[in-house]
Amino acid sequence: MDAICQRLSVVVMALVLAAITWGSSDALGQEKPAAPAPPAAPAPPAASTPAPAPAYDIWTTKRLTGDWGGTRTDLENQGISFSALLGTMTQFNFRGGLNTHNACDVAGRAFYVLELDFQKMKLIDGGSFFVRAVSNWNNGIQADVGSLTPPFWAAGSSGDQWIELDKYWYRQRLWDDRVEFRLGKLQNISDLFDKNVYAENYLNQFMNRALNHNMAMPYTKGIGAFGKVWPVDWLYFQMAAMDPDTINTHNRHGTGGFDTAFHDDCRFRGFWEAGILPKHLGVTLPGNYRLGCWYDPVTKRVYGNNLGGLLTDRFETGDVGYYFSADQMVWKENEDAKDKQGLGVFARYGWADEELNRIEHFWSLGASYQGLIPQRNADVLAFGMAQSILSGDLREFVNARADRETVYELYYAFEVTPWCTVSPDFQVITNPGASKDARDAIVGGVRVKLSF
């Protein structure tokens, strides 16, 4: 029995050894597994492709013609900007004034603007060029109302159905924009002097000229030079000299003013202004306060008593005046610095020599609220009043019935789309033409502004 067990043990061990030997030989016969491949080098980044231009949406685009498939933005990034703007006004003289029969008109003005930013073009740091052409049509209803100022400033203010090289200038900014110079055909009001956040633009704000600039200040557009300096963030000083001879036909209709600026008498109208921005002094809400004066070298007739024609008229050269302008936001809906929703107020005053100027005193004031109606954040409701008081000498020696003209205006600017704004407007003009004998006028209309 023991022998049998020993023989079985030998057989089992032999089988085990054979199995081990077979497994080892099989393993040795296999190829050594290949070493794992090194990680593949990262693929080079794909060439960046510009993001596609956003799809055109007529309800959200800022301009009716859109972005031209991205071309407009590309040009602006390279320093070339073109824009076109159309403003029309349908107005009626409902009551009073000189005439109400067919006293309605559809008048307007179109602007074509080209701007070149030489800094973006990498040509001149701080340099740029601006040029604007303008075309007008129809004369508005000022003749029907008989007022000193047009109920819609653009209508009849500078011609009918022609295109004018309206403004152009080269601008140079230096030292982080603390110094600025302009040379070219300039406009004193709205662009440079007597500016006002709430009352300076007849296409966006008030329509009557009396609520867009100071009527005691001579409106000037011509060849000139302008300079401005900001010694500190809250204070600026500026001045300009401009050719006042705009009655010249060539000067107004295409030659840009060279026919008078550099010929005949050397007469340039001077303007000086200082401004304060309280926001940089710790005031929470934005505001602007301006004080300025002007000098006019144009020879003017003196208002005086000529004893029924027995004395010859007198003329003087060298007229002066001064003005004040302020705008201040008094309540803001939120703390977003870019959001303009809230209530703002404005005021103006101007004085001119009563011997030489038809208007001796002028003042205006008003208020403007953006975003008054919920969900209508871009709409504006505004009310203003302005009064032009005629010269004391004119009233004493020329026309005893002359007095003052007062304008009351209410408008609501409704933004239909970012490129289209419709503004119903209502005006009451008392003593049109500053005459005590005139009938108070009631004027209404609708303005449409389109941005292309």
| CATH code of the domain covering residue 311 | 2.40.160.180
Distance from C-alpha of 390 to C-alpha of 209, rounded to nearest angstrom: 16
Distance from C-alpha of 348 to C-alpha of 330, rounded to nearest angstrom: 17
Residues 364, 347: contact at Cβ < 8 Å? Answer: yes
Distance from C-alpha of 91 to C-alpha of 385, rounded to nearest angstrom: 19
Handedness of CA 207, 213, 217, 219 (dihedral sign): negative
Per-residue pLDDT tens for 283-304? 889 999 999 999 998 888 888 8
Distance from C-alpha of 385 to C-alpha of 425, rounded to nearest angstrom: 14
Residues 322, 351: contact at Cβ < 8 Å? Answer: yes
HSE (CB half, 13 Å, CA atoms) of 424? 2
Rg, Å, the chain Cα set: 37
Stated pTM of the model? 0.82
Asked whether residue 50 is domain-assigned, the answer is no
Asked whether residue 24 is domain-assigned, the answer is no
Give the CA distances from residue 322 to residues 145, 195, 271, 353, 366, in Å, rounded to whole numbers and listed in that order: 29, 14, 10, 10, 21
Domain of residue 94: give its range: 57-451
Return the structure tokens found at 406: 């007062």
Residues 157, 164: contact at Cβ < 8 Å? Answer: no
Pairing state between β 342-352 and 127-137? unpaired
Residues 389, 404: contact at Cβ < 8 Å? Answer: yes
In this prediction, residue 369 carries a pLDDT of 98
**Per-residue pLDDT of the chain in tens (452 residues, 90 and over written 9):** 444 334 434 333 333 333 333 333 333 333 334 445 555 555 555 555 656 667 888 999 999 999 999 999 999 999 999 999 999 999 999 999 999 998 999 988 999 999 999 999 999 999 999 999 998 888 889 999 999 999 987 654 444 557 788 899 999 999 999 999 999 999 998 899 999 999 999 999 999 999 999 999 999 988 999 999 999 999 999 999 998 865 544 444 445 566 666 666 667 899 999 999 998 787 889 999 999 999 998 888 888 877 666 778 888 888 999 999 999 999 999 888 888 999 999 999 999 999 999 999 999 999 999 999 999 999 999 999 999 999 998 998 888 899 999 999 999 999 999 999 999 999 999 999 999 999 999 999 999 999 99
Asked whether residue 411 is domain-assigned, the answer is yes
Count, residues in the chain: 452
Nearest to 147 by CA among 349, 448, 443, 445: 443
Distance from C-alpha of 283 to C-alpha of 334, rounded to nearest angstrom: 16
HSE (CB half, 13 Å, CA atoms) of 233? 5
Asked whether residue 6 is domain-assigned, the answer is no
Residues 390, 412: contact at Cβ < 8 Å? Answer: no
Nearest to 242 by CA among 190, 293, 185, 202: 185
Asked whether residue 236 is domain-assigned, the answer is yes
In this prediction, residue 32 carries a pLDDT of 38
∠ CA 242-293-367, nearest 5°, is 105
Asked whether residue 38 is domain-assigned, the answer is no
Give the CA distances from residue 147 to residues 144, 160, 209, 348, in Å, rounded to whole numbers and listed in that order: 8, 19, 11, 20
Q: What is the 3-state secondary structure (H, E, C) of the chain?
A: CHHHHHHHHHHHHHHHHHHHHHHHHHHHHCCCCCCCCCCCCCCCCCCCCCCCCCCCCCCCCCCCCCCHHHHHHHHHHCCEEEEEEEEEEEEEEEECCCCCCCCEEEEEEEEEEEEEECCCCCCCCCEEEEEEEEEEECCCCHHHHCCCCCCCCCCCCCCCCCEEEEEEEEEEEECCCCEEEEEEEEECECCCECCCCCCCCCCCCCCCHHHCCCCCCCCCEEEEEEEEEEEECCEEEEEEEECCCCCCHHHHCCCCCHHHHCCCCCCCEEEEEEEECHHHHCCCCCEEEEEEEEEEEEEEECCCCCCCCCCCCCEEEEEEEEEEEEEEEEEECCCCCCCCCEEEEEEEEEEECCCCCCEEEEEEEEEEEECCCCCCCCCEEEEEEEEEEECHHHHHHCCCCECEEEEEEEEEEEEEECCEEEEEEEEEEECHHHECCCCCEEEEEEEEEEEC
Asked whether residue 176 is domain-assigned, the answer is yes
∠ CA 108-256-215, nearest 5°, is 55
In this prediction, residue 315 carries a pLDDT of 87
HSE (CB half, 13 Å, CA atoms) of 230? 14
Give the CA distances from residue 216 to residues 270, 348, 358, in Å, rounded to whole numbers and listed in that order: 15, 10, 9
What is the tally of structural domains in the chain?
A: 1
Asked whether residue 306 is domain-assigned, the answer is yes
